[in-house]
Amino acid sequence: MAVAVSRDLTVQVLEDVNAVKLTDRQQALRAAIQRGEPKCLGVSQVMLGLMVMSYSIPLHFTELTEVVSLGVPWWSGLMFIAAGVVAIILDKHCTMKILQVCLMVSVASTVLSVVAVIIYSVDMEKNPEVPCVKTIHGNCNDKHYATRLSRGVKSSLLLFTLAQTAISAVVCFLLFRQRHSFGQYASLTQGAPSTPQTLTPPDLN
């Protein structure tokens, strides 16, 4: 904080250099993050999460496999939605604290996406499509259709999860780069008034 005293003993409190620098860097941080379009990426994550959860509903009417018993589409879909919501909030309220929260959520989303991809792949390998066995009516047995539907749904969920993994990885990269560039200003606080203030001494006469 700087103080200037004029000849008429008027004291003027000038802007703090650190406060001005913090404001400038926050504006630069917001501009840098918005160039990465976090809102668009966040909306994409929310949509993918909703699609994963809605597409998984038919799996509950087929055979019970690891994907269903572990609830993979549900916790992965909720994680995608949470990551997207935080990214949308970051676009509207850009601060270092929200950036760090968004980074942690995005890292968790990426890790869980990789875990979900592994579970989907293992499940599809362990539960292949049952060959068609003709019934007396000339149609395939019900188990064939059930396993065929199950693999089709899991293939779609696998593609959605791979897309989410890529989006989360991109968000993590962008946020980590911005955090590294602007993290040194996170400790600065606005200890001084943002506008000059004039203090007039009392009249002693």
Query: Which distant-in-sequence residues (6+ apart) come within 8 Å of 173 by Cβ?
Result: none
- The three-class DSSP label of residue 203 is coil
Cβ(164)–Cβ(82) below 8 Å:
no
Residue 96 lies in a domain: yes
Identity of the amino acid at 177: R
**pTM exceeding the 0.85 threshold for the entire prediction:** no
Cβ(119)–Cβ(75) below 8 Å:
no
Which has more confidence, 140 or 50?
50
Residue 92 lies in a domain: yes
Query: Which distant-in-sequence residues (6+ apart) come within 8 Å of 54 by Cβ?
Result: none
Residue 86 lies in a domain: yes
CA dist 103 and 111 (Å) reads 12
Res. 15 pLDDT band, cuts 50 70 90? low
Residue 7 lies in a domain: no
Which has more confidence, 97 or 47?
47
pLDDT tens digits, residue range 134-148? 776 667 777 777 788
Q: How far is CA 123 from CA 3, 67, 128, in A?
A: 70, 7, 9
| 185, pLDDT greater than 90 | no
Residue 203 lies in a domain: no
Residue 38 lies in a domain: yes
Residue 191 lies in a domain: no
Structural domain count, the chain: 1
Mean pLDDT of all residues belonging to the chain: 76
Token reading at 156: 């779609």
Query: pLDDT value at position 122?
Result: 93
Provide the domain limits for residue 89.
Answer: 16-186
Cβ(10)–Cβ(198) below 8 Å:
yes
Residue 192 lies in a domain: no
CA dist 34 and 107 (Å) reads 19
Q: How far is CA 178 from CA 18, 99, 195, in A?
A: 20, 9, 28
CA dist 145 and 132 (Å) reads 8
| 84, pLDDT greater than 70 | yes
pLDDT tens digits, residue range 152-169? 899 999 999 999 999 999
Cβ(176)–Cβ(104) below 8 Å:
no
Query: pLDDT value at position 191?
Result: 42
Res. 23 pLDDT band, cuts 50 70 90? low
CA dist 191 and 178 (Å) reads 24
